[in-house]
Structures are given as C-alpha cells and as structure tokens.
C-alpha cells in the first residue's frame, strides 16, 4: 500500500475568501460564547479549583527548565550584543540599563509566552481535540459534567497563576545571565551594572512584565481550549486544532504585547 494514502488532501479553495471569512467569524463567535460560559461557570469553584491546582503544577513546574533556559540565553545574547555595539561609544553601565529594559519589558514575558505556546498551547489543543473527535466531550456532558468547568476553566486559571510566576523567574534568569556575560565579555563591574539597572528600573515595569505574563497565559490556554473543543474529523482534525492553537495564540500574544507595550509608554 502506498504511503501517499495517508497524506491528507490539501485544503479546498472552493468558496475562497468568503468561505474562510465565514469560518473565521464562526470561530470568533464560538470563542465569545465559550468566554461567556467561562464567566458564568466561575461561581463553581468547588468543582474546578482542585483541577486548576493540578494545572498550575503541570504548567508551572514542568515548564520551568525550558522557560529558564530560553530566558537565560536571551539575556546572555542581549548582553553580548550590547557590549559589542555600545561600549565603544557609551559608558559601560549602559549595558545594565539595556538588559533591564529588554529583559523585563520584552524578553522575559515574550520568551516565556513563546515557549508555552509550543509546550502548553499545543498540548491543550491536541488533548481537547482528541477528546472532541472521540466523543469524550459529549460523554462528559451526558454524565452531567460541564466541559467548561472540568476542562477549560482549570486550564485557563492554571495558566493565569503559573505563567506570571514563570515570567518573574524568567526575568530573574535573563537578568542574571545578562549580568554574568557582561562581567566576562564587556567588561563591566557589578556595581556599574547595578547603576545602569537602577537608572532604568521602576516597579511599574516589573508589574507590566507580570501583567503580560497573565495576559499571555490566559490567551494561550483559552485559545488552545477553544480550538480543541471545535475539532472535528479524526486525526486530521486534531492536527488542525493543534496548529490553530499555536498560530492563533502566537498572533494574539504578539498583538497583546504591542498593546501592553503601548500602555508602558502612556502610563510609564
């Protein structure tokens, strides 16, 4: 038997732009009603809080090594580049400012978000997608359990708690790696680095970093759950839901990053 038989056909272009727009609007409508269902289900804490606790552990602890690794490499690369580019024309302490600015405002939250899109978003999309196509979601309804309470809210709330904590640790890891590389490569003293860091740092920047983490976490978990719950059509449907989770969550994360950074300019 030829392996070609197992390659799904390319998506049909019949209907083109109109069909795709209709499908996108339908997905937005479904996501809106899912968000409303989540709000209504919030009062049932007794049902979802124990499950949310398990998700905090799963999202937070299990993602920590990869999140720290990526944040530290980002901080180290920024330090290396800043040292190379600026220190011949500017005072060395500027490296501390640049690393504080870039890690806290962008690299910490964004690298954490991108890691979690791949690690958590794809998994949620695939898990719920597989449950949808094997009728497990419908089975949950027939035994009187609301999928929003038992599947969606624990994941979204787990991400809401775990991701800001991960971002805080990523910020610390990125700063630490940036400082270590600056000491070796620029070169700069610890007190010069601290002067530069203090010159830029304000508590609002740290809050914004954590707020970004919360927004990214909720977006990733919610979008992945919404895509998974709408999956149809067997293994190909699960694949589409997973891809959709990653693509849409990445785009939404980037747009919200832009908007939140704009907030920094207005209020910071």
**Category of 233 on φ-ψ map: left (φ > 0), alpha (ψ -120 to 50) or beta:** left
Question: Minimal CA–CA distance to 121: which of 253, 10, 17?
Answer: 253
**Nearer of residues 68 and 238 to another protein, judged by Cβ:** 238
- For another protein, the binding residues (CB under 8 A) are 46-47, 131, 134-136, 138-145
Q: How many residues does the structure list for the chain?
A: 268
- Min dist CB 58 to another protein, Å, is 12
**Nearer of residues 20 and 141 to another protein, judged by Cβ:** 141
**Nearer of residues 150 and 200 to another protein, judged by Cβ:** 150
Distance between CA atoms of 86 and 196, rounded to whole angstroms? 13
Distance between CA atoms of 104 and 78, rounded to whole angstroms? 12
- Min dist CB 234 to another protein, Å, is 11
Distance between CA atoms of 198 and 259, rounded to whole angstroms? 25
**Nearer of residues 141 and 202 to another protein, judged by Cβ:** 141
- Min dist CB 183 to another protein, Å, is 47
Dihedral of alpha carbons 2, 3, 6, 11, sign: negative
Q: What angle do CA 33, 40, 141 make, to 5 degrees?
A: 75
- Min dist CB 134 to another protein, Å, is 6
**Nearer of residues 50 and 268 to another protein, judged by Cβ:** 50
**Nearer of residues 49 and 255 to another protein, judged by Cβ:** 49
**Nearer of residues 94 and 131 to another protein, judged by Cβ:** 131
- Min dist CB 242 to another protein, Å, is 17
- Min dist CB 239 to another protein, Å, is 18
Q: How many other C-beta atoms are found inside a 10 Å radius of the C-beta of residue 88?
A: 7
Q: What angle do CA 174, 177, 183 make, to 5 degrees?
A: 140
Distance between CA atoms of 246 and 97, rounded to whole angstroms? 33
CB contact burial 136-158 (16+ within 10 A = b; e otherwise): ebeebeeeeebbbbbbbbbbbbb
Paired tokens of 48 = 């979802």
- Min dist CB 131 to another protein, Å, is 8
């Amino acid at each position: 038997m030829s392996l070609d038989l197992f390659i799904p056909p390319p998506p049909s272009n019949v209907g083109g732009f109109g069909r795709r727009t209709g499908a996108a609007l339908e997905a937005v409508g479904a996501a809106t009603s899912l968000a409303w269902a989540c709000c209504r289900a919030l009062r049932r804490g007794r049902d979802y809080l124990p499950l949310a606790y398990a998700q905090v552990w799963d999202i937070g602890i299990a993602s920590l090594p990869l999140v720290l690794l990526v944040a530290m490499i980002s901080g180290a690369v920024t330090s290396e580049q800043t040292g190379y580019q600026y220190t011949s024309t500017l005072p060395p302490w500027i490296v501390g400012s640049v690393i504080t600015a870039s890690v806290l405002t962008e690299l910490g939250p964004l690298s954490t978000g991108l890691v979690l899109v791949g690690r958590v978003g794809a998994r949620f999309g695939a898990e719920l997608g597989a449950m949808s196509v094997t009728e497990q979601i419908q089975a949950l309804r027939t035994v009187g359990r609301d999928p929003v309470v038992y599947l969606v809210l624990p994941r979204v709330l787990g991400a809401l708690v775990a991701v800001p904590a991960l971002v805080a640790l990523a910020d610390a890891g990125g700063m630490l790696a940036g400082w270590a590389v600056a000491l070796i490569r620029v070169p700069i003293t610890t007190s010069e680095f601290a002067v530069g860091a203090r010159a830029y740092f304000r508590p609002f920047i740290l809050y914004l970093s954590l707020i970004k983490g919360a927004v990214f976490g909720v977006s990733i978990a919610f979008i992945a759950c919404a895509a998974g719950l709408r999956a149809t059509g067997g293994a190909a449907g699960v694949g589409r839901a997973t891809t959709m989770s990653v693509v849409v969550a990445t785009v939404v994360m980037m747009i919200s990053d832009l908007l939140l950074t704009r907030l920094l300019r207005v209020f910071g």
